[in-house]
Chains A and B, each alone.
Chain A
Amino acid sequence: MPHEVAFRGVLLPGLLPVFLGCLLLMVLIDMVVGRFGLYRHVWHPSLFRFALFVCLFGAAGLLLLR
């Protein structure tokens, strides 16, 4: 993936679509996990979610934009 994306003539950082994609993925994961109540087995659910998001975003960013 390119490091910069042109959107109607405006240069945007390539990380932006990756970030939005990860947010979307996170919403999907939340929907599934929330439905089955799996976050109850985690000590600090929001820390877990934040860490999960960092992992997703970090991995996606490193893999796609390297």
Chain B
Amino acid sequence: MSAVPAIESVPSPSRWPWLAEFLAGERHAWIFVGKSLLAIYIAAWLAMWLQLEQPATTMITVAIVMNPHSGMVLAKSFYRAIGTLAGSVCGLVLMALFPQQRELFLLSLSLWVALCAGGATLYRNFMSYGFVLAGYTAAIVTLPVISHPLHVFDTAVMRVSEVLLGILVAAVVSDLVWPERLRLLLRQNARRQFAQFIDFVRDSTGGSIPRAQMEQAHLAFVRAAVQLEDMRASVIFEDPEVHARSTRMRLLNQRYMSAATSFQSLHHLINRLQRSGSQSVADALIMLYRPIGVALSPEPALRHETTILAERLTACMTQLPAQAAALRVSLDTPTAQLEFDTGAALLQRFAAELRDFAALEGSLRGKQTRGSVEKVHFRRGNDNLGAAIAVLRTFFTMVTLSTFWLASGWAFGASAMLLATIFSGLLAASPNPVSAATHTLYGYAAGMLGAFLVVFWLMPGSDGFLSLIAVSAAFLLIGPYLSTRDTLSGVGAGYTLGFVYILALKNPMVYDPTHFFNDAIAQVAGLALSGIAFVFVPAVTGSGWQRARQLRRLRELVALAASAPLEGLAWRFESVSRDLFQQMVTHTRPGSAESRSLLAWGLAVQESGRAVLELRQDLADGHRVPAAVCDVITLALQAVARLYLQPAAARWRETDAAVRMAIGAAAAMPAVRQHLYQLRTALHDDESPLASYIPSSIPSPLPESGNAA
């Protein structure tokens, strides 16, 4: 995420290449620092000019929202605005319900904040900010006026105005001043994804790909699909043109995913045939595969020209059936013919999907888009239990703080609560919350120290807004600068927040050291407590326990494919399986045994799930399948689903028997039979994770082949 797209300079041979690189990075960082400072001061000035009560709230909002990419800021701002409105309404309702009962009020506020923190963990884009903000605004609206319930409405209006002003200023500044376009990055990524996939397909026409290489390719394909979706969700806020193409981009990603699944299934089939000794069938399939490779290889300059590729693929597809028939003649046994037919059907499906993918990519690269396309969604695989634990943890933090506050009569309890609210939400989604909390705490303390110097040494002599900028800018810019460093971003964010918050800019300014220190202690206590809570109730994100759960959910997807209503199920299956897979793999070390095992499961689930879906499509849209056969096939599908839910040797035997019976029953329906056969070879794959459940004495490869002809 650190591309510098806009500079179109001619690379001159430089004497010190490291210096040029260093300066380019610094330029990037300082533009961000400049934008942040500009936005913060404009926000402060506007807040004072509009006579809002606490310009500090506006400044903090800007500090939280600023991000180097403008698409990110707009996306963040949009969800923040929604979160702010929801939170302020909730704060008002709670205050109206319990104006006199402080215990009940704090209990329900804690619950609200906890629910918001849980919601934040469910989303991986900026919608999670919306949830954090919904919690934070409810607290910020009600806590300062907890002793004067009658003022709550006025405060709510004030706080909402301040927060929304901050969002507006941050959005406008980051979009207008040296915007860093995420759109360029998105376009580059989409093109790279397309080129990589096409190249991989072309280079693998030799037939066999080693499993390890296939796993790496799968990993890359999945990452590309998920990243593209993440980016699309942010860029639509940045660019109206991307927004207009959003539906199409979603469909593109879905087509990409299904083409990748078919591709893998095909290669697994060929690999299996080679290993099980059916070399002649594998060779015939590789021969049949070659025309696709030829179609993808026009002269090198045109290799990634989508329209040309799509045309060539269409031409290739019309020839495939005839070529398949010619190759089939050379195979003598019915088993070999069934094996070949399965592969040929898969290959034609793959060619069709690849053509659709290329054609859609072509229409997206054009200047205009015409007509409308099917609406699809990228579904996410969320872990509800992880969210429930976040809810529980935040609830304990908030209840502990409120109890302490009520019991001790601590005058600055509200500040501590507020900080705990913000950071419980922000940290809940972080992969390593304890270290993130520690970093933020250091930054926060440093920021408050900086603010102390500014407030009590420099500011008393200053007069007017310009001298305010002059005395505080040097200290303020440390925060945004640190947050552009990869390792120190937590410290930087903490510094900015701590500095701006404790500076508590007002018009006219109040200088009160006692208040300053009391507030500082309370804020540090709140922040520290929200970090400590992670020690007692650990975060589940990235833990081995969560991975085990996600793996189970991944396997359950096969059962979902076998039982859920078919409408939109194919898209859902492809996206959820990839999202879950991506989540699991990001927290494992590449190449470790665990990572290999997850990859193997990912591939197996994708192949079997897709075959199950194709079978169900066959059963649903053709009425030619007799009811008796339909029942046998359904039994086989249920057996596969059960096997994936709880893999065991006994279940594997049951499943294998059920699928064999279904293949026998479906003798008259070639398409169904091929899908069943594919499912069966997937079961027998000795490199899939199911291999450990295969009994040592496997029945002969294809006992029913006599019924086939």
Contact = CB atoms under 8 A, between A and B. Distances in A.
A33 B179 CA distance: 20
Interface in B33-60: none
Contact of A30 (B175, B243, B367, B369): B243
Interface string A24-45: 0000001101111101100011
Contact of B241 (A37, A44, A47, A50): A37
Nearest to A51: B176
B192 to A, nearest CB: 22
Q: What bracket does the count of chain A residues touching chain B fall in? A: 10 to 19
Interface string A42-64: 00111101100000000000000
Contacts, number: 35
Interface in B161-186: 172, 175-176, 179
Q: What bracket does the count of chain B residues touching chain A fall in? A: 10 to 19
Interface string B543-574: 00000000000000000000000000000000
A34 B241 CA distance: 4
A39 to B, nearest CB: 6
Nearest to B153: A10
Contact of B369 (A31, A35, A40, A50): A35
A66 B430 CA distance: 51
A50 B243 contact: no
Contact of A35 (B176, B179, B244): B244
B484 interface: no
Interface string B236-247: 000111111100
Contacts of B242: 34
Contacts of B175: 46, 50
Nearest to A33: B240
B219 to A, nearest CB: 34
A39 B241 contact: yes
A25 to B, nearest CB: 13
Contact of B368 (A31, A36, A44, A49): A36
Contacts of B239: 34, 45
A46 B243 contact: no
Given A36-B368, A37-B367, A31 B176 contact: no
Interface string B366-382: 01110000000000000
Contacts of A37: 241, 367-368
B176 A34 contact: no
A14 B150 CA distance: 25
A39 B245 CA distance: 14
Interface in B230-275: 239-245
A37 B239 CA distance: 10
A46 B70 contact: yes
Nearest to A36: B368
A24 B369 CA distance: 23
B241 A31 contact: no
Interface in B154-208: 172, 175-176, 179
Interface string B67-86: 00010000000000000000
Nearest to A49: B240
B72 to A, nearest CB: 14
Contact of A34 (B70, B172, B243): B243
Contacts of B244: 31, 34-35
Contacts of B172: 50
Contacts of A36: 368
A11 to B, nearest CB: 10
Interface centre among B70, B172, B241 (most CB of A within 10 A): B241
A35 to B, nearest CB: 4
A36 B240 CA distance: 10
27 contacts: A30-B240, A30-B243, A31-B240, A31-B243, A31-B244, A34-B240, A34-B241, A34-B244, A34-B245, A35-B368, A35-B369, A36-B368, A37-B241, A37-B367, A37-B368, A39-B240, A39-B241, A40-B367, A45-B239, A46-B70, A46-B175, A46-B176, A46-B179, A47-B176, A49-B240, A50-B172, A50-B176
Given A35-B368, A44-B176, A46-B179, 15 more contacts: A30-B243, A31-B243, A34-B239, A34-B240, A34-B241, A34-B243, A34-B245, A35-B369, A37-B241, A37-B367, A37-B368, A39-B241, A46-B70, A46-B175, A49-B240
9 closest Cβ contacts across the A-B interface?
A34-B240, A30-B240, A34-B244, A46-B175, A35-B244, A34-B241, A37-B367, A47-B176, A34-B243
